[in-house]
Amino acid sequence: MIITLENIDTQERFQSKSLSRMSPHSVIQNIPPGRYFMYQVSVPLGDMIYHNRSSHMREFFGQINIEPNSKYYLGNFSGRMGVGRERNLIMSIDDLNIPCELRERIENENTGWKKGEFIKLFPYEKDELIIR
Protein backbone atom coordinates (compact mmCIF):
# COMPACT_ATOMS: atom_id res chain seq x y z
CA MET A 1 0.00 0.00 0.00
CA ILE A 2 1.38 3.39 -0.98
CA ILE A 3 0.11 6.38 0.94
CA THR A 4 0.46 10.05 0.16
CA LEU A 5 0.07 12.59 2.96
CA GLU A 6 -0.53 16.29 2.29
CA ASN A 7 0.41 19.05 4.70
CA ILE A 8 -2.75 21.05 5.42
CA ASP A 9 -0.90 24.37 5.70
CA THR A 10 1.74 24.09 2.93
CA GLN A 11 0.02 21.61 0.55
CA GLU A 12 3.36 19.77 0.30
CA ARG A 13 2.92 16.03 -0.35
CA PHE A 14 4.93 13.10 0.97
CA GLN A 15 4.65 9.58 -0.47
CA SER A 16 5.58 6.35 1.26
CA LYS A 17 8.18 4.02 -0.18
CA SER A 18 8.41 0.28 0.22
CA LEU A 19 11.14 -0.96 2.57
CA SER A 20 12.35 -3.27 -0.22
CA ARG A 21 11.26 -4.54 -3.61
CA MET A 22 9.22 -7.42 -2.17
CA SER A 23 8.21 -5.84 1.15
CA PRO A 24 4.52 -5.29 1.93
CA HIS A 25 5.56 -2.48 4.31
CA SER A 26 6.04 1.14 3.34
CA VAL A 27 7.37 4.14 5.24
CA ILE A 28 7.60 7.90 4.92
CA GLN A 29 10.88 9.24 6.25
CA ASN A 30 11.83 12.82 7.09
CA ILE A 31 8.31 14.23 7.08
CA PRO A 32 8.26 17.69 8.67
CA PRO A 33 6.10 18.28 11.75
CA GLY A 34 2.63 19.61 10.99
CA ARG A 35 -1.00 18.82 10.33
CA TYR A 36 -1.65 16.34 7.52
CA PHE A 37 -4.47 14.54 5.80
CA MET A 38 -4.37 11.39 3.69
CA TYR A 39 -4.28 12.66 0.11
CA GLN A 40 -4.25 9.26 -1.62
CA VAL A 41 -4.03 5.54 -0.95
CA SER A 42 -2.81 3.32 -3.80
CA VAL A 43 -2.61 -0.46 -3.82
CA PRO A 44 -0.76 -2.19 -6.67
CA LEU A 45 -2.41 -5.53 -7.37
CA GLY A 46 -1.11 -7.47 -10.36
CA ASP A 47 -1.39 -5.34 -13.49
CA MET A 48 -3.82 -2.93 -11.82
CA ILE A 49 -3.37 -0.14 -9.30
CA TYR A 50 -6.33 0.72 -7.10
CA HIS A 51 -6.51 4.37 -5.96
CA ASN A 52 -8.63 6.25 -3.48
CA ARG A 53 -8.63 10.05 -3.14
CA SER A 54 -12.18 10.37 -1.89
CA SER A 55 -13.48 12.44 1.00
CA HIS A 56 -14.59 9.13 2.58
CA MET A 57 -10.94 8.02 2.63
CA ARG A 58 -9.84 11.33 4.20
CA GLU A 59 -12.55 10.96 6.87
CA PHE A 60 -11.47 7.36 7.48
CA PHE A 61 -7.95 8.46 8.47
CA GLY A 62 -8.84 11.91 9.84
CA GLN A 63 -6.30 14.64 10.52
CA ILE A 64 -2.82 13.37 11.32
CA ASN A 65 -0.66 15.53 13.56
CA ILE A 66 3.05 14.85 13.11
CA GLU A 67 5.35 15.86 15.97
CA PRO A 68 9.14 16.16 15.66
CA ASN A 69 11.33 13.10 16.43
CA SER A 70 8.37 10.70 16.57
CA LYS A 71 7.45 7.47 14.80
CA TYR A 72 3.88 6.76 13.71
CA TYR A 73 2.12 3.56 12.71
CA LEU A 74 -1.00 3.61 10.52
CA GLY A 75 -1.78 -0.07 10.83
CA ASN A 76 -1.50 -3.54 9.41
CA PHE A 77 -4.13 -3.71 6.67
CA SER A 78 -5.49 -6.72 4.85
CA GLY A 79 -7.70 -6.61 1.80
CA ARG A 80 -10.29 -8.58 -0.06
CA MET A 81 -11.58 -8.15 -3.57
CA GLY A 82 -15.26 -7.51 -4.10
CA VAL A 83 -17.12 -9.57 -6.67
CA GLY A 84 -19.46 -8.54 -9.41
CA ARG A 85 -19.48 -5.47 -11.54
CA GLU A 86 -17.62 -3.18 -9.13
CA ARG A 87 -14.54 -5.12 -8.13
CA ASN A 88 -13.62 -2.83 -5.27
CA LEU A 89 -10.74 -3.58 -2.96
CA ILE A 90 -11.94 -3.53 0.65
CA MET A 91 -9.20 -2.87 3.21
CA SER A 92 -9.49 -3.34 6.95
CA ILE A 93 -7.08 -3.22 9.88
CA ASP A 94 -5.88 -6.74 10.50
CA ASP A 95 -3.91 -6.30 13.70
CA LEU A 96 -3.58 -3.46 16.19
CA ASN A 97 0.07 -4.20 16.96
CA ILE A 98 3.08 -3.40 14.81
CA PRO A 99 4.65 -6.67 13.61
CA CYS A 100 7.85 -7.44 15.54
CA GLU A 101 9.85 -8.05 12.36
CA LEU A 102 8.81 -4.65 10.99
CA ARG A 103 9.67 -2.88 14.26
CA GLU A 104 13.11 -4.54 14.35
CA ARG A 105 13.83 -3.79 10.71
CA ILE A 106 12.92 -0.11 11.01
CA GLU A 107 14.95 0.33 14.19
CA ASN A 108 18.00 -1.59 12.95
CA GLU A 109 18.31 -0.31 9.39
CA ASN A 110 19.53 3.08 8.30
CA THR A 111 16.15 4.77 8.71
CA GLY A 112 17.32 7.40 11.18
CA TRP A 113 14.67 6.36 13.71
CA LYS A 114 15.83 5.61 17.21
CA LYS A 115 14.36 3.00 19.47
CA GLY A 116 11.16 4.03 21.15
CA GLU A 117 7.46 3.48 20.92
CA PHE A 118 5.45 4.06 17.78
CA ILE A 119 2.43 6.34 18.05
CA LYS A 120 -0.55 4.46 16.64
CA LEU A 121 -2.80 6.36 14.24
CA PHE A 122 -5.63 3.92 13.73
CA PRO A 123 -8.92 5.16 12.28
CA TYR A 124 -11.15 3.75 14.97
CA GLU A 125 -14.46 5.20 13.73
CA LYS A 126 -14.66 3.04 10.60
CA ASP A 127 -13.56 -0.53 10.15
CA GLU A 128 -13.27 -0.77 6.34
CA LEU A 129 -11.78 1.38 3.61
CA ILE A 130 -12.98 0.88 0.03
CA ILE A 131 -10.41 1.46 -2.70
CA ARG A 132 -11.77 1.55 -6.26
Report the alpha-carbon angle 52-123-16, nearest 5.
50
Low-confidence ranges of the chain (pLDDT < 70): 82-87, 95, 108-117, 120-127, 131-132
Assign 55 to helix, strand or coil: helix
b/e per residue 76-102 (b: at least 16 CB within 10 A): beebeeeeeeeebbebebeeeebeeeb
How does DSSP classify residue 21?
Answer: T
pLDDT of residue 15: 94
